[in-house]
Structure 1
């Protein structure tokens, strides 16, 4: 999660509720539940604790231990990696519950069963069933002079309750922020996955990669007694040296088995393919050759390698490799909306939720590799608490023109401020202001169509708020 405002919404989470096909009554019930969740404190009022979430889970019958867990932390790539793990494990005939954040269009996207957002009716029913227990915990906290359950804590409890009700065979959770005190850490994961760690949320996690890595290593803690997974396996993506040094020390301190990219597994090869890429991965027990990944960019190839190893660590039995055909079938079904996603052609429009410098760097590389635009209009709208110049430093090399606008978030950065920053990186004539995102898209389409280019493209980025609004405006208001 990218940080939440005091209403409960995350900093990169749209406030739109859109559920295609749901009838008016169901949408009304979902709106009621969502409003109740949003009434709780958001992630800008961080509670450094696990006991409140644990207490609610225990009152509900230890729902956080109802199924084995795979937890994914990191800075960028968490959601895509979690979705790939889900797809691989599902293909091996296990029922998977997945909890990720933020969402694009409907809060139900955060809680997935069988690869799809949980039904509105189930979301509402389970929330109503657990509400009294949430109120008990709130009252106990109040008696101790402590804050009630936050939005994300309550949503975590709801997710575990949905998974216990289903029931599922395995839970894949994406850490909201950090790891050590993130509410998802109430569960003791059998496999603890670390995607690449970068600088983000410094106000909560620390100003250095070392500090951030130390907090994220908290997913290795055992918080259930007796633990359902006393000996976890850490699967660690390739890291900057500063972060890797900390993770190595934390793994050793806990006596945890670690599988680290380049030491224990690696991406051997990848080739561009229509609508994705073919990857070859040296796994723990076999080489998995020419596996199709329907996502773009070298970062997604590395995410796929990490997901394959996580699945191997979870599913492996006495040294038996994963079945290549089953693995390929699972990965081929992976989607990751809002991540280098092509949502329109003629001209091409790509949306990507890059909101920090690392993610912007990856986006720039992916555009150069996968889309071959010879004229690029960058539609940019960001939140006020992000590293604006860090993002612009990465994106300006890919842009022939910037169309600057604002998101609908209460924490939106003003278009004037963002445009002023953009002019420090490109010619003033290349920066155009638009009153809202709809106007920005229309202007970008005009620029792309007027360009003397064989392959013009539009890239909408800066925040998942921006992506969500653009997807709706372009008729893609449903997220898998």
Structure 2
């Protein structure tokens, strides 16, 4: 028997919405189990999501009104979403373009954007309580094991659907959370177009998953009669599986061509050319299916300006400190071997080059492998070796993702998924420090292991002279640094 939930008078404020939303977070053990299952842990997942949709007053076909561009992949799906949104927005003058992505950096409402801007606190709270109270009013769940309120990401997906439908968006760029087939976003019956970015094993290699299994999961977003796009893929086996997934459901399959040489992109890094190429293909198919005029070339001329104007906060981003003109922040949420290689190429491929590092990664990840990927790529870009590159740092700081020195998170940054035992012992941070010692023997600077992001920022600000600080290893870390260091202006996609 489900417990009776008593409706009580409550303030319908943004802060109260965030407090309630955080009660939907899963703990560390549950998150890890879902990750290891590739999103397949709950065989009732899609059925439950459809039932939640019904309980808030919608049918699946209602979601077709959102005119969805559905995007998944192992690497680059967020950047692809940003490029796609910017192109489509440029072509639908006066329209409303919804963008749903994850995770957020400083505020949950960043995940739900219209024309590049996050929902306002008032709008977020309004739509949040409309969804929450509809679920509260209809507590009959599909199984006795189904919670009355969905877990965090599912709730936000429902909230995004409700907000976009209420606001009457003309198009929606919808980024998958985990996997594809079993993801909570995969309940739109007929998107306008679907796409798969680069596939890889970085997130799932510990599971023993093959590229074929990963591709099968990602290809689960392909729908009958809906254009099914993919980037070329490094492994032929993955591309073959995606093609088979499309054939199985009757979706016209297409591998997007590369961008012409010399095209300017607003996002740094050579890997962004692949993401931008997929975005171009998705935007072209979207406009064609929607009956809008578009130049039938590999890169329509009208797409060049929006590609150059695309911004995606926290990815290869430089921001000047607003309180200390001597500090430049180099922000990149890279957290896989491949993305950290790209981060190293970017951070040491230009100026200023880092003199301090703030780094963290999720528990259980391979500390030495990740740090080595960053340093080796940086060394290559700088024309030196790993030891010499590492020796250039004055401060190397390994911190948790806890926001403040008093041990609390900012409400929007609360993370129930952190293992409390790991956190208390600073186990991940100590492992990172040990790994640094092996990678940069005889390091002459200072290595700090600290319990919060605010501690890390304080160490940087206590320094002297010009400082370029690289923040990497976790998007949650980057968001926390932006919050504590007062870099919220860097959150804009404009």
The interval holding the TM-score normalised by the smaller chain is 0.7 to 0.9
Q: CA deviation at 1:341?
A: 0.7
Within 1, Cα distance between the matches of 2:228 and 2:135?
32
Aligned partners of 1:381 and 1:406 also within 8 Å: yes
Residue of structure 1 in register with 2:408 after alignment: none
Q: Which residue of 2 aligns with 1:146?
A: 146
| C-alpha separation in 2, matches of 1:155 and 1:250 | 28
1:356 is aligned to 336
Q: 1:311 aligns with which of 283, 295, 313?
A: 283
User: Residue 433 of structure 1 corresponds to which residue in structure 2?
Assistant: 448
| Counterparts of 1:55 and 1:28, CA distance in 2 | 25
Report matched runs for 1:27-426 at 5 Å. 29-42=13-26, 44=31, 46=34, 47-48=42-43, 49-59=45-55, 60-62=57-59, 63-93=62-92, 94-135=95-136, 138-142=139-143, 144-148=144-148, 149-187=150-188, 188-202=190-204, 207-220=209-222, 222=223, 230-241=224-235, 242-261=237-256, 265-270=257-262, 279=263, 292-316=264-288, 317=291, 320-321=294-295, 324=300, 326-344=302-320, 346-369=326-349, 371-373=350-352, 376-397=355-376, 398=378, 399-400=389-390, 401=393, 402-408=396-402, 410-411=418-419, 414-426=428-440
Q: Secondary structure at the match of 2:468?
A: strand
CA distance in 1, matches of 2:458, 2:79: 30
**What is the CA distance between 1:446 and its match in structure 2?**
7.1
Could you tell me whether the CA contact under 8 Å between 1:356 and 1:390 is conserved in 2? no
1:95/1:113 contact within 8 Å kept:
yes
Does the CA-based 8 Å contact 2:364-2:428 persist in structure 1?
A: no
How much has 1:147 moved relative to structure 2? 3.9
- Structure 1 residue matching 2:142: 3-state secondary structure: helix
Question: In structure 2, how many angstroms separate the alpha carbons of the residues matched to 1:125 and 1:319?
Answer: 37
**1:372 Cα deviation (Å)?**
4.1
Aligned positions, number: 417
CA RMSD of aligned residues (A): 2.9
Q: TM-score, normalised by structure 2?
A: 0.77
SS at match of 2:271: helix
Q: Is the Cα–Cα contact under 8 Å of residues 354 and 470 in structure 2 kept in the other structure?
A: no
Deviations 1:191-236 (A, max 9, x none): 111111222442997633222222111111x4xxxxxxx4111221
- Please give the TM-score of this superposition, normalised by the length of structure 1: 0.79
C-alpha distance after superposition, 1:337-386 (max 9, x if no partner): 100110127443201111121211221222243x2455643321222133
Cα shift at 1:177: 0.4
Aligned to 1:3: none
User: Which of the pair is proportionally richer in strand?
Assistant: 1
* Over 6 Å off, 4+ runs: 445-448
* Paired residues of 1:298 and 1:366 also in contact (CA < 8 A): no
Moved more, 194-203 or 464-473: 194-203
Could you say if the C-alpha distance between residues 231 and 31 of structure 1 is closer, same or farther in structure 2, counting changes exceeding 3 Å? same
Counterparts of 2:221 and 2:354 in 1: how far apart (Å)? 43
For structure 1, the 5+ residue unaligned runs are 1-26, 223-229, 271-278, 280-291, 451-455
The 2-side partners of 1:107 and 1:426 are apart by 37
Rounded to whole Å, the distance in 1 between the matches of 2:482 and 2:203 is 26
| Counterparts of 1:405 and 1:341, CA distance in 2 | 20
Question: Residue 216 and residue 136 in structure 1: after superposition, are their counterparts in 2 closer, same or farther (change >3 A)?
Answer: farther
Provide Cα deviations, 1:290-337, integer angstroms capped at 9, x if missing partner: xx4222111122211211111001102598417956423433432111
Q: State the shift of 1:175 in Å.
A: 0.4
Question: Counterparts of 1:318 and 1:332 in 2: how far apart (Å)?
Answer: 22
| SS state at 2:470 partner | strand
- Residue among 448, 464, 467 paired with 2:475: 464
